[in-house]
Structure 1
């Protein structure tokens, strides 16, 4: 087995941690892992070899899990949702490959990023290939003899999420270094960049599971709140955790001047002097470690860290409450557990 095919300890830990925290998800996660390994065997040539490096060993497979559990929660067969579920993961991972190119990040999931390992050109091509693989996987649901209009809705939902993700990425670039961009623009950005795939995953699961309109709406509300909670929590990790849970360098946001959720809260709560400190910390050329130290101090003195945690808890509670229209089931328990996970991702 070559180094490219060997699982990393961090990826194993991520998967084990998800099973530990969501034991009811074990059957679906096992199914997703088996299918991922089957579709991406060792020894693939060319761009597929690099795609395998990006995809395997798989991380938490959280977004594919939302697809299978949403389908099951409305009475569908999760096995019939696996192809589309993996398509969501391909789109997610493809976007991360491109993100690492944009941000210049050298690590992902505790090992060299695709760009660092294979070079920028191959990383861009691999990210593109994974996006096309996503569409192909969604279209692969035809083997389950879905009605044509359902299949079309699945593909449209996935493609629409990809477009929203790109819009969120460009909006994020506009906000870089701007601590006065305002919470409204930030929330719009994360609803696109992060929330789009959460909403698409649950919407696709609802479509494949044969959900009623009421069930589908409930799942989309769940996904909207859950996506916000996860991104807000992700923004908190460099200031509250050890930096490993987000899967990227802990100083990446500071180095790229991103005004993340707790930073924007601090800006709202801060006085003129602290606002100037924040702006200087996020300015181009500020060493990342120095920027993070300054940001952390302002977050503490303004009470922004506490306020940010409370908002994450509120979004997670709203997500879980959205599931009340669904019948009690193992899958509903898994979805509720996903919402609760957003509150303590650094544990």
Structure 2
């Protein structure tokens, strides 16, 4: 069996550049991943645009802006933005199991619609004002419009699968439905963490498994199922996606604190300013020592009516997370999930 090439089996922060816009400069080792991501974009974008254009009026306008095809005034813009990572996992898993990527477009489009449903909602819940170097949809069109556009994308995701007529469509709908429910549960948990002064590290990991890793695992599963793979191969590729997703989330959390805004498309330290219980922060708060205690004293819920924090405080929080061991823990954990993803891939 051939090996999926969408993303190399690594969650290491140093290798996060294998995913465009993830915040690191590319290296020669990333070339196969970048090739697969470009292929996925070429294959998926026309089908994705077709489904977005089936939305009614204003919802279509908001979705076209969110995906990057139009600017806020409705004029043509740069084109599809984002990494298209999850569709690439679908297509590569299908190919690895003997299928043709072109025949796996329905689940590839479906997972990208679900992912962007979650982004539209996530930006509203977190109050994020920029994504992918652009103003977020809710800041341009208002929260109700962005929220309902996300709902429409989610509805379309299941219509894509249902309309295909594949004998495996029902199984794909069940898998994607389960993954979406877990994703929403993870988002709900994440929002609840913001009002808590301390969250156990294991609880943060469980949240990340639902919010991020589950949809990546499902993407690999759908590609394998669509290609008619045997159950053991489906399970192995799902494990690969799970560990890849956790490694990806850990890398993203590291970039949320120490990433370059010019590469990530988000303000520096935005997660710290919002008092997000990201994995490096949770690991630091769980540690002993003066840095962890100082971090705990400062990392209390932000007063929404208080003055905004300056860059000096954000820099202090980032330093405390590192001194308390949160950065080192996250880098080691990413390596561990990289190794476990590689092992799952070898089993497939």
TM bucket (normalised to shorter chain) is: 0.7 to 0.9
Superposed, which structure 2 residues align to 1:63-142 within 5 Å? 63-142=86-165
Alpha-carbon distance in 2 for matches of 1:228, 1:293: 26
One of 3, 22, 39 as aligned partner of 2:33: 22
State the partner residue of 1:156: 174
Instruction: Check whether the contact 1:233–1:312 (CA below 8 A) recurs between aligned residues.
Output: yes
State the partner residue of 1:190: 208
Instruction: Check whether the contact 2:40–2:87 (CA below 8 A) recurs between aligned residues.
Output: no
One of 228, 232, 236 as aligned partner of 2:250: 232
Superposed, which structure 2 residues align to 1:124-273 within 5 Å? 124-142=147-165, 146-147=166-167, 150-178=168-196, 180-271=198-289
The alignment's TM-score, normalised by the length of structure 1, stands at 0.81
Instruction: Check whether the contact 1:270–1:302 (CA below 8 A) recurs between aligned residues.
Output: yes
Alpha-carbon distance in 2 for matches of 1:237, 1:316: 17
Deviation for aligned residue 1:208: 0.1
State the partner residue of 1:332: none
Matched, 1:321 2:343: yes
Q: Is the deviation greater in 283-292 or in 78-87?
A: 283-292
Alpha-carbon distance in 1 for matches of 2:283, 2:338: 18
Deviation for aligned residue 1:170: 1.3
State the partner residue of 1:33: 45
Q: Is the deviation greater in 72-81 or in 285-294?
A: 285-294
SS of the residue corresponding to residue 22 of structure 1 reads helix
The alignment's TM-score, normalised by the length of structure 2, stands at 0.81
Deviation by residue 1:71-116 (Cα, 9 ceiling, x = unmatched) = 1111112112112211111111111111111111111111111001
Q: Structure 2: state its 5+ residue gaps.
A: 1-19, 69-79
Alpha-carbon distance in 1 for matches of 2:26, 2:294: 40
Q: Is the deviation greater in 14-23 or in 96-105?
A: 14-23
Deviation by residue 1:217-269 (Cα, 9 ceiling, x = unmatched) = 11111011111101111110033320355544333322322111111111233
Change over 3 Å in CA distance of 1:246–1:95 after alignment to 2: farther
Instruction: Compute the RMSD of aligned alpha carbons.
Output: 2.6
Deviation for aligned residue 1:139: 1.7
* Aligned positions, number: 309
Q: Is the deviation greater in 53-62 or in 42-51?
A: 42-51
